[in-house]
């Protein structure tokens, strides 16, 4: 209850939670909230500015921007949540193993992670998407691969600081095996600081998804996706047709902001317990 009160007392946490609820509502009720089908082109309504008929205007194909933004929330959240979730599971498992077992194989695994992190994110993402294809699940897999080293390194650092603690030696003396020590004694203490990074990473995944789509390496038309919508309207910006890119860009900003605020609030909530564990 004290952690919940700490979270509720944070204006940033409440704002982030409110923005998240808006996104979840868009995901759950997209067919109800969207006034038009998101992929239905209407050449006669091309490039219409915001109006009572089309609240956020239409794009060059005549598709309603509001409808596409609402449905794009599903795509961007789906990619963000699945990629970070998969990266978290794989990264935590790798981090625990290489942190607990120090030796040649652990060092080799860390060098492989260094190899992944040595590439610029967009270059590696473009290469993987080009090989695997521009599909939603392929983009999620690519982002998961990019996030695994971050989670693995964080967990490894925590495990290295915990593996020689007295409670670990006590568990070993009581007859506990390596698997039990790693996943029943060390992991619950090591994973708490990493959970804070999950929220921030989801925002980063949404931003990377939009970035990959913007440069043509993400999902393809006519799939509604925020970065793809910004890219489609970028060429019209110099002609004064601002609404095609502006509103999807604001959607990206608010979505990433919501997860950043939630991550900051979670860090404040977790800080007391982390300090208590250290004592």
3-class DSSP state of 58? strand
278 pLDDT exceeds 80? no
**Residue percentage of the chain with pLDDT more than 70:** 94
| Domain edges within the chain | 2-27+75-278
Mean pLDDT of the region 33-50? 91
3-class DSSP string for 173-238: HCCCCHHHHHHHHHHHHHHHHHHHHHHHHHHHHHHHHHHHHHCCCCCCCCCCCHHHHHHHHHHHHC
Write out the two tokens for 179. Answer: 């698997």
> Radius of gyration (Cα) for the chain, nearest Å?
22
Fold topology of 2-27+75-278: MetI-like fold (1.10.3720)
27 pLDDT exceeds 60? yes
Cβ-contact 263, 197 below 8 angstroms: yes
Q: What confidence tens digit (pLDDT) does each residue in 175-207 have?
A: 778 888 888 888 888 887 788 889 889 999 999
- Own/partner contacts of 176-179, CB < 8 Å, gap of 24 or more, are 178/100
Say which residues have a Cβ less than 8 Å from residue 43's Cβ, sequence separation at least 6.
61, 62
pLDDT category at 274 given cuts 50, 70, 90 is: very low
pLDDT category at 251 given cuts 50, 70, 90 is: very high
Which pTM was predicted? 0.86
Cβ-contact 146, 208 below 8 angstroms: yes
* Look-up of token digits 């967009």: 122
Report the C-alpha gap between 79 and 142 in whole angstroms.
Answer: 10
165 pLDDT exceeds 50? yes
273 pLDDT exceeds 70? no
47 pLDDT exceeds 80? yes
């Amino acid at each position: 209850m004290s952690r919940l009160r700490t979270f509720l007392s944070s204006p940033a946490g409440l704002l982030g939670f409110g923005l998240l609820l808006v996104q979840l509502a868009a995901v759950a009720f997209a067919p109800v909230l969207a006034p038009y089908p998101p992929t239905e082109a209407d050449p006669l309504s091309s490039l219409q500015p915001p109006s009572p008929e089309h609240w956020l205007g239409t794009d060059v194909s005549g598709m309603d921007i509001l409808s596409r933004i609402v449905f794009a929330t599903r795509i961007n959240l789906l990619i963000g949540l699945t990629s970070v979730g998969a990266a978290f599971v794989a990264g935590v498992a790798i981090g625990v193993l290489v942190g607990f077992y120090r030796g040649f194989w652990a060092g080799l695994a860390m060098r492989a992670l260094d190899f992944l992190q040595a590439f610029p994110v967009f270059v590696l993402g473009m290469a993987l998407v080009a090989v695997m294809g521009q599909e939603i699940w392929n983009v999620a897999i690519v982002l998961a691969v990019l996030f695994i080293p971050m989670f693995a390194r964080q967990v490894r650092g925590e495990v290295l600081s915990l593996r020689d603690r007295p409670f670990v030696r006590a568990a070993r003396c009581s007859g506990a095996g390596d698997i039990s020590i790693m996943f029943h004694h060390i992991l619950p203490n090591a994973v708490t600081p990493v959970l804070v990074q999950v929220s921030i990473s989801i925002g980063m995944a949404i931003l990377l998804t939009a970035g990959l789509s913007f440069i043509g390496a993400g999902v393809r038309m006519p799939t509604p996706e925020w970065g793809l919508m910004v890219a489609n309207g970028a060429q019209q910006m110099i002609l004064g047709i601002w609404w095609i890119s502006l509103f999807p860009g604001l959607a990206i900003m608010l979505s990433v902001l919501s997860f950043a605020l939630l991550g900051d609030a979670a860090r404040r909530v977790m800080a007391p317990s982390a300090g208590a564990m250290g004592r």
